[in-house]
A and B are shown apart, each in its own frame.
Chain A
Amino acid sequence: MTDYRMNILVCGGTGCRSSEGATLHDELVSLLADKGLEKEIQVVSTGCFGFCEKGPVVKILPDNTFYVQVQAADAREIIEEHIIKGRKVDHLLYVAPETGKKVSDSKHMDFYKKQVRIALRNCGFINPENVDEYVARDGYAALATCLGEMTPEQVIKEIKKSGLRGRGGAGFPTGTKWELTSKSIADQKYVVCNADEGDPGAFMDRSILEGDPHSVIEAMAICGYCIGADKGLVYIRAEYPLAIKRLKIALEQARNYGLLGENILNTGFNFEIDLRYGAGAFVCGEETALIHSMEGKRGEPTFKPPFPAEKGYLGKPTNVNNVETYANIPSIINKGAKWFSSIGTEKSKGTKVFALAGKINNVGLIEVPMGTTLREVIYDIGGGIKNGKEFKAVQTGGPSGGCLTKNFLDTPIDYESLTEAGSMMGSGGMIVMDEDDCMVSIAKFYLEFTLDESCGKCNPCRIGNKRLWEILDKISKGNGTKEDLNRLKLLSNVVKDSSLCGLGQTSPNPILSTMDNFWDEYLAHVEDKRCPAGQCKAMMQYVIDPVKCTGCTLCSRICPVAAIEGERKKPHEIDPVKCIKCGACMEKCKFEAISVA
């Protein structure tokens, strides 16, 4: 018997919840109860729909109506109009930015048309706090197949055949990693899930754990079976409270069903998972630093080899994979390696999740087949650049990646192509920049981040990055010379070549890639002392056009440092020495007489 005739799916991801999504959910539930409809209509709190730009998001089934920016106050209208009378609430429908037309259901949204969801298959579809809904979507069937019908070697072979590569950034073949760990001989081995997502603006792993925690748990158990481990650990940052909460609920439910614990499905296989909390240090995403942090030591990397596959957590063989990598595993087992490897490009199989951020219309979470071009992601799915501005660059790979210009828009997204273009796949952060972004400032921003996050163990990273930052700072203040540019390049390469771990080996990438692609902009900063994007404050000069100025005195009254002088009804002047470039005068001038030179 179908219990309900309609479902109201309310996004329960962190993004939507922070804009009143939880209140909205409760309001819908209580209104339905008031109308006596609680047996006919089910309200489901799901994981992230990916359309974070317009959250909180509500989807109504079976008609697939997609409501955006829904407030708790809109709950009554949704129930009374849509649920009771079958009339869609017009003002909550999504408006397509290209056509300006309202889109009645999610099947007609460009945002979803080009997406293929494997890792996110259950996000925005099931209630992550209900294991039954996961089971209904073939949950734990892959684990049962592996335990009951396959040998560990067969499972590893299948994963290798699928071509799955690490989604944390480096792209190491997952099956090979499992094989290496399985061949290490020890009395105890560990399966570790790296949920220390640290790239600025990235939230792929968080969303998977919030929206579909069981997929990661199931995959870790499969990995344990393959490598011969009975213990799993999830290293997750403490700043992800909702993901932790859902993961705990999921672990509890899996234990109650006997899908974790001793003698799973009566096969004699034991597996248990614990959580370890990180303090949010970027370097702990590096696997050796992560392992040290879990051991209670300082989160500092050590030289490889030995690789964790030989000597990892507590000196025992350890397999470390990223959240998204694990989330792909159950589908590969259920649907077969052949199916998985039919998606993507020759060397990069399957899909990749990206967190779209920056100056893009549809900020959110997407999953596309490998080989999709940057243009398709930015324009077709992302809806193009905000406010009709010009696209300037896209940053992939976080602080370890690089900025790609519009010449690279047709680059297919796969590990090799992105590296060749001067950036990298990374964990999936994608930040879009428009004409108003200054590339020197962008490079400085990323370096500031790595400077903060450097653990300080090796000199090139600790001191080298600091010096790099100082040179960038000098350039952005208009004091740079051409000699500085050479030094910047040279030192960048030294830091890259001599740092101990991935953090230092990649931290100069944003500098190098912006220098490669935006050399003119660097030159303008040092030679003409000019910031073409008008972002570097130190180089800006506010001037008053004496023809347009009416001498109304408004600007001189508003200036916080009394840098503007002039007689009434006569053109005023700005003293560049006193001016702090706050822009207040320009904003207030009624005659558009003030501009930035």
Chain B
Amino acid sequence: MSKIKSLEELRKLREEVQTRMKLRENSDKSEDLVRIKVAMATCGIASGARETMRVLIEQLDQQGVDAVVTQTGCMGYCYAEPTVEVTLPGKEPIVFGEVKEERAREIIDKYVVNQELIDGIIPVNHQSI
């Protein structure tokens, strides 16, 4: 631990440590952020949902998007696992199916960043309350 010698250095340290606390800050104001749920029931995990989640988090980070990524149980679309539900602030949630690494990147780069729709959208037949 070296000494902080100026306001500038304190600011630098703050920025550095803030990234580590981002998850907590974001959870506090989750309504205003991009929310992504990754289905992680047995079917999801078996089809590689864990890897999908890792890629999503990594990609969000690279794009500098503040988001909350959580796991959820089976959404019922076991034929299309891994499935991911994305909710942009103020929009209806959209569920994407068969989200492997490639599509995960696409979701972030195209839908989340530019709000362009992409392939793989599953017509939603349920409503979360």
Contact = CB atoms under 8 A, between A and B. Distances in A.
A197 B4 CA distance: 33
Interface in B1-33: 1, 3-7, 10-11, 13-14, 17-24, 26-28, 30
Residue among B38, B40, B53, B70 facing the most chain A CB atoms (10 A cut-off): B70
B4 A62 contact: no
B45 A62 contact: no
A85 B1 contact: no
A107 B68 CA distance: 15
Interface string A37-69: 000000000000000000000000111100000
B3 A135 contact: no
B30 A6 contact: no
B112 to A, nearest CB: 15
Given A62-B23, A136-B17, A265-B4, A2 B10 contact: no
B18 A136 contact: yes
Interface stretch (A255-263, A337-345, A545-553): A255-263
Contacts of B14: 135-136, 138-139, 141
Give the dominant DSSP class at B's interface. Answer: helix
A213 B1 CA distance: 19
B73 interface: yes
B10 A132 contact: no
Interface in A401-420: none
Interface in A211-262: 253, 256-259
Given A257-B1, A257-B4, A137 B68 contact: no
Contacts of A107: 30
A256 B2 CA distance: 7
B19 A2 contact: yes
A259 B10 CA distance: 10
Given A132-B17, A148-B7, A61 B24 contact: yes
B55 to A, nearest CB: 12
Contact of A144 (B3, B10, B17, B69): B10
Contact of A3 (B20, B27, B30, B38): B20
B63 interface: no
B110 to A, nearest CB: 21
A133 interface: yes
B128 to A, nearest CB: 11
Given A136-B18, A136-B20, A136-B21, A85 B4 contact: no
Given A141-B10, A258-B5, A2 B61 contact: yes
Contacts of B39: 86
A86 B27 contact: no
B57 interface: yes
B71 interface: yes
Contacts of B24: 7, 9, 61, 125
Nearest to A131: B1
Contact of A132 (B20, B22, B23): B20
Interface in B100-119: none
B41 interface: yes
Report the interface size class on chain B.
35 or more
B17 A135 contact: yes
Nearest to A59: B27
Contacts of B5: 258, 265-266
A62 B1 contact: no
B10 A63 contact: no
A40 to B, nearest CB: 8
Residue among A62, A63, A126, A259 facing the most chain B CB atoms (10 A cut-off): A62
Contacts of A257: 1, 3-4
B61 A1 contact: yes
B41 A135 contact: no
A447 B1 CA distance: 51
Interface string A266-277: 100000000000
Contact of A5 (B7, B19, B23): B23
B17 A133 contact: yes
Contacts of A62: 23, 26-27, 30, 68-70
B4 A63 contact: no
Contacts of A137: 21
A503 B117 CA distance: 70
Contacts of A258: 3-5
Contacts of B28: 125
A256 B54 CA distance: 36
B23 A61 contact: yes
Contacts of A2: 19-20, 22-23, 57, 61
A1 B23 contact: no
Contacts of B53: 5
A2 B18 CA distance: 10
Interface string A75-105: 0000000001111000000000000000000
**Closest 10 A-B residue pairs measured CB to CB?**
A86-B71, A258-B3, A62-B27, A61-B27, A136-B17, A62-B68, A86-B40, A132-B17, A136-B21, A144-B7
Interface of B: 1, 3-7, 10-11, 13-14, 17-24, 26-28, 30, 38-42, 45, 53-54, 57, 61, 68-73
26 contacts: A2-B20, A2-B57, A2-B61, A4-B23, A7-B24, A61-B24, A61-B27, A62-B27, A62-B69, A64-B27, A85-B41, A86-B39, A86-B70, A107-B30, A125-B28, A126-B21, A132-B17, A135-B17, A136-B20, A136-B21, A141-B14, A145-B7, A256-B3, A258-B5, A259-B4, A265-B6
Given A87-B73, A141-B14, 5 more contacts: A3-B20, A136-B14, A144-B10, A258-B3, A265-B7
